Amino acid sequence: MEMRQELAVYLIAGTQDVAKGNLVGFLEKALQAGITCFQFREKGVGSLTDRVQIIEMARKCQLLCERYRVPFFCE
């Protein structure tokens, strides 16, 4: 697959972007719907501030993306 196709449906999100902070559930639905790339980005009001929690969330998202064979980026 060429790079342009891999980035066709690029999702950027963090816990601040989803209801009740259920980013992992939201991400799984997006993966099932066909996103082709995911960037985890904690920024702004409502985002996680604890470094350990941010790393744990990033890892959960990364593992989920691996399962769906979708590239994962973390800002």
Residue 34's pLDDT is 95
Query: Which residue type does 8 have?
Result: A
Digit-coded pLDDT (tens) for 33-75: 999 999 999 999 989 999 999 999 999 999 999 999 999 999 7
pLDDT value, residue 39: 97
- The interaxial angle of helices 51-68 and 23-33, nearest 10 deg, is 20
Q: Is the pLDDT assigned to residue 1 strictly greater than 60?
A: no
Q: 């082709």: which residue's tokens?
A: 36
